[in-house]
Chains A and B, each alone.
Chain A
Amino acid sequence: MPHLFSADRRQFLMTSAGMAGLAVAASLLPAGLARAAGLTVGFIYVGPKDDYGYNQAHAEGAKAVKQIAGVTVIEEELVPETVDVQKTMESMINFDGATLLFPTSFGYFDPHILTVAPKYPEIRFEHCGGLWSEGMPANTGSYFGYIGMGQYLNGIAAGHATKTKKIGFVAAKPIPQVLLNINSFLLGARSVDPEITCQVIFTGEWSLAVKEAEATNALADQGCDVVTCHVDGPKVVMETGAGRGMYLCGYHANQSPLAPDMYLTGAEWNWAQVYTDMVNTTIAGGTIPNFVRGGLAEGFVKMSPLGPAVSDAARNQFEATQAEILKGGYAVIKGPLKDNKGNVIAAGGEAYAEDDVKLESMDYLVEGVVGSTS
């Protein structure tokens, strides 16, 4: 149809006029970049903020901060751990006047926050999961929670629920935070029955739906009848596991709406409280400590309400242990304990309490976990 696509000079002139019009329109910018009067807080997420998981947990925290009077919350999701996040932080500072930032993904810290923070000494950078240490910029800080305790409690519920004595764990990568969760999950189950083993499958990615589903199926095929996970969005693992008749222990956020009958309990973040406290401290003119950690006792972590499949015996042990943990200083990793290659991790009497920083560099899987760290 040449007549449709042939053009003459007049059409070209019209296009040029259109181009000029666009240029004019572009110069009529949205009037200024008004900055909010009070405190502006920026939240940055690596994935979608409604993923039923890691990012949703943080976004629920951000939602709580929005309730504080005089605070403006700005959010940006799906920001990769590259120069992207550096520029997003700077953009929030330059264009929105943010003075308190929560870049929430682990990979944002080194080198990205550490690169940007020295350029903006007046701005506070609070990072989730990082290991702040002396010598790092004073306007940065890291916070995290002892969620391994939550996985230990998950393990207790799982230990009572399993009939095959095999429980499963779908994990993203063999990094310390994940290894601690796997070990805690198994040790919780072994506190019920020392015969229980835990099969782990690494998917290699923080978010990869088909692989997570395949991993859950492979666990079910191996006879695991309870499953939990540590990936960014547990939705797929929970739905697939429930479809295979497995009991579920949640992670990051409350996934019980996905399969209420099979859901035992879950280890959840309680960022709403943490963020509210930090923002209130800032408004009051105080300084957030550079290194913040907390567990169930401090309200950093909470458990999902126990589901209908949890037996009375399980409930009793769960609640008794939770009460112990709430006293603080509880140790899950304690001697005598070996890793799954036979090396001694802790001799009898040795114990690593929940706040022991050594746990944050864990590189082993304990005896009873079927899987490998590399």
Chain B
Amino acid sequence: MTDIGLWGVPLAILGGAIRVSTPFIFVSIGEALTERSGRINLGLEGTLVFGAMSGYAVAFHSDSAWLGVLAAAFFGLLFGLFHGFVCKLPKVNDIAIGIALMLLGTGLAFFFGKPYVQPVAPDLPSIPFGFWSDIPQVEAALRINVLFILGIVLAVAMAFMFRATRIGLIVRVVGDSADAARAMGINIDLVRLLSTGVGGALAGVAGAYLSLYYPGSWNEGISSGQGLMAVALVIFARWNPVNCFWAALLFGGAGALGPALQSVGVTQGYYLFYAAPYVLTLGLLIATSSTRRAMSSAPGELSITK
């Protein structure tokens, strides 16, 4: 291998951003859709962990990583639909239901995931975009998983959907003003149900990425709060899927900072470096929130910004 010294840090951050960000991309664009329809789903952390477990289990039994991803999306869809269904009942608090489903999702995942801690399931494939380089570090950083690319495509497609399609308009109207949507004859509950369902399915895929690609195995410590962070991320990405993608990249990079700095000899206070993504999110939240509901492009029906 080539000794690239300090250049390793930016390269590691780039590589880390690509490797670590994918779950954030999926959870956050799914949540962007859900929140645009006027709902918040805090339970995506549980959905993600269950997706990681079910994806790994199915991939192990079927010997196909893609079947694992499908299974994770399916179970994520179920969690999302359940959330969407119960939140339409009167007096049911969507934030609290999210917390409950987070607990239930992780509990179920740990319960059924016990036999899958040890087995090795097949990995998702990656594409070597770094083939042009002789430097192994560059090659490694640019070995990009298919799901990452799918995430970019989805983010762009969803942004287009919100801006220029009828479905996007319907979701936005439902999220901005239930009264206006009702006047237009839109079935609000159905729109929110489907938006939450799709959000859940995407969170399930995010989980499958964790267990089937990076770090690529199932255990109870697989998620370090990615599902929750992604929800926070949506807020300062202003509910824009493309911004969600950039924000997710930023987060992945921040997560890679700690180990990269240690590898070039910055060894003091690594716990504090490891907290960088959380501090960054909090800082951005403080900077972008506002007491008056003047937060631009915030869906009017969203409970957390009301």
Interface of A toward B, CB cutoff 8 Å: 5, 48, 50-52, 56, 78, 164, 199, 201-205, 207-215, 217-223, 225, 233, 235-236, 239-240, 243-245, 257-258, 370-372, 374
Contacts and interface: CB of A to CB of B under 8 A. Distances in A.
B29 interface: no
Closest 5 CB pairs of A and B: A372-B267, A213-B215, A218-B259, A50-B118, A218-B263
A264 to B, nearest CB: 17
A143 to B, nearest CB: 26
Nearest to A51: B117
Nearest to B1: A223
B297 interface: no
Given A201-B263, A211-B274, A370-B265, A217 B216 contact: no
B176 to A, nearest CB: 26
Given A210-B215, A210-B224, A218 B260 contact: yes
Contacts of B224: 208, 210-211
B207 to A, nearest CB: 13
Interface of B: 1-4, 8, 11-12, 15-16, 19-20, 89, 114, 117-118, 120, 136-137, 140-141, 210, 214-217, 219-222, 224, 255-256, 258-260, 262-265, 267-268, 270-271, 274
Contacts of A245: 136
Contact of A214 (B2, B137, B141, B255): B255
Contacts of B114: 48
A218 B215 contact: no
Contact of B214 (A164, A203, A213, A233): A213
Nearest to A204: B271
Contacts of A210: 20, 210, 214-215, 222, 224, 255
9 contacts: A210-B20, A211-B259, A215-B262, A218-B8, A218-B260, A221-B4, A223-B4, A235-B217, A243-B216
A240 B263 contact: no
Contacts of B220: 48, 78
Contact of A236 (B8, B217, B255, B268): B217
A222 B263 contact: yes
A204 B270 contact: yes
Given A214-B16, A222-B8, A204 B274 contact: yes
Nearest to A205: B221
A220 B215 contact: no
Contacts of A233: 219
Contact of B20 (A203, A204, A214, A244): A214
Contacts of A5: 89
Contact of B118 (A52, A222, A371): A52
A236 B219 CA distance: 10
A225 B117 contact: no
Nearest to B271: A204
Nearest to B266: A372
Contacts of A203: 259
Given A201-B262, A371-B262, A371-B267, A209 B15 contact: no
B263 A199 contact: yes
B3 A223 contact: yes
B262 to A, nearest CB: 5
Given A210-B224, A213-B216, 7 more contacts: A48-B114, A48-B219, A202-B270, A220-B137, A221-B260, A223-B1, A372-B268
B24 to A, nearest CB: 12
A258 B119 CA distance: 9
